[in-house]
Structure 1
Amino acid sequence: MSKPKKSKRIKRKLLYKYRLVVLNEDTFEEQFALRLNRLNIFVGVGISTILIIAFTTVLIAFTPLREYIPGYASTKLRKQATSLAYKTDSLQIALDQKNRYLESIRRVLAGEVSPLDFEEENLDTVNQIVADTVNFNASETDSLLRKEVAEEERFNVQKQLDSKVEFSLFSPLKGEISENFNPQTKHYAVDVVAQENTPVKSIADGTVIFAEWSAATGYVIILEHNHGLLSVYKHNKSLTKAQGEMVVAGEVIAKVGNTGELTTGPHLHFELWSNGYPVNPQEFIEF
């Protein structure tokens, strides 16, 4: 019997009516009155708490105010961080490619290059071919095919250039050729004899991608031209252009010299590369 009485007593307390009155302090005139019980107060406080929590959640989740709360990052900053991460990854890949490209240039200067090593775009996929192991003599079975292909491709570089733009190659230097282009001896160039300090000119418009001193080949300058062409000038006495500069066809870029260990007199060691392959400069330029 005690439990029902206790329940009734709690129920009575919850439902017991109270009157909340607001009075004027001076006149004691009733300004406002409200009849309440404890149950109403509990329900009101609970609903208010839920509404406040819901409102705060909406503000944090769907408005920019959340950026002022510790622990929440700005959407703009997150986008910038993601974009910078992608750019950093791309720059790292590009840097690795350029490093391999410069390593190939170093190998050219050191005389270690093979025809396929120097192509920048295919550094990851090309097969490494050692020039000493290549048989340059046509066999009896394929001599006719080689002759036909050689005739078709003899002026292929110049034909490709002519098909795109009006393009001509200037002579870097007028003089006597002391040594011809010879892949069998890994001499991928022509040596042009001239007096010391004779101007060396650019064969076409381009950009200086290398202009430094090499112990073996002295002062060396390498130009990058359109359509996959590279021109290399070695054993110069001095250089008039620096890496990164733009040059025009016929512009003086160096002076003939006798620098480096691999030289016996003043001359220009000139190489011409097309899309990573060495070509005979005499087929396209008159010295």
Structure 2
Amino acid sequence: MSKKKGSSFFHRIKFKYKLSILNENTLEEVWRIRLSWLNVFLVSFATAVLYFFFIAFLIIKTPLRTFLPGYSDNNILSQQVIRNAASMDSIREVVRVRGEYMEMLQNICSGNIPIDSTTSVDSLLKKDYSKEILEPSEKENKFRKQFEREEKYNTGMVENAYAKLNYLMFRPANGVVIERSGGSSKQNILTVQMENASAIHSLLDGVVVYVSRTSEGLFEMHIQHNNGMTSYYKFALPFIKEVGDNVHAGEVISVPAKDSANTLIFELWENGKSLNPEDYILFN
């Protein structure tokens, strides 16, 4: 009995039906199709599957996924809001500039150009500015005196003691001379106790001709200058120049360590003769 019912069910769903479309006036068959319930079910199922995959693709690959509850990414939304706000600001700025430009063109074309409020040329020529020069205040005078006093010692430059030398020398380092060797000796050597963080400078323009390290562990540099002079520097830290480098007057050749006591040994020679550096350079 059950087999009979099952066979009748399959027979029904597989039974073919004819669907026709007739012309109402002529009763002529315009279109027809043969269908069964099984065909309708299979076509409907395939359409539903395709529709499902199409919707899933849209949700996964497009921003539509942000509309799903719990799927929205706050960071992405925040970045998008920021980008949109920046774009709106840019658009507003462009519109404002173009509006001002069009307004300016309209005023120029119509002759409605506002007169500038600046003073005329004639009034500027007739004006006596010498009467408007203000006298320096007490603070200005104090600052000038302090500046002149500091510059007097910070430049480190004095004119050569000999009339035949008409150039200026830079002080090799800021500091105090703590030891002098010379007098009857043929070699004049100055030992300068440098100020904290005071750099070592080249005396004049010249070329580095010698860089080495002494047996006492000091670094030594010789600079040959254009006027026949040679300056010798001995320092505890390495120099930043090498043999063959050109140096300018006042150029830094060594940088000491901060917050440390540094001592510079300095000599000045001219054509093989040792000179007293204090005759040419003003130290503190």
Shorter-normalised TM range: 0.3 to 0.5
Q: Pick the structure with greater CA Rg.
A: 2
Query: What's the TM-score, normalizing by structure 2?
Result: 0.39
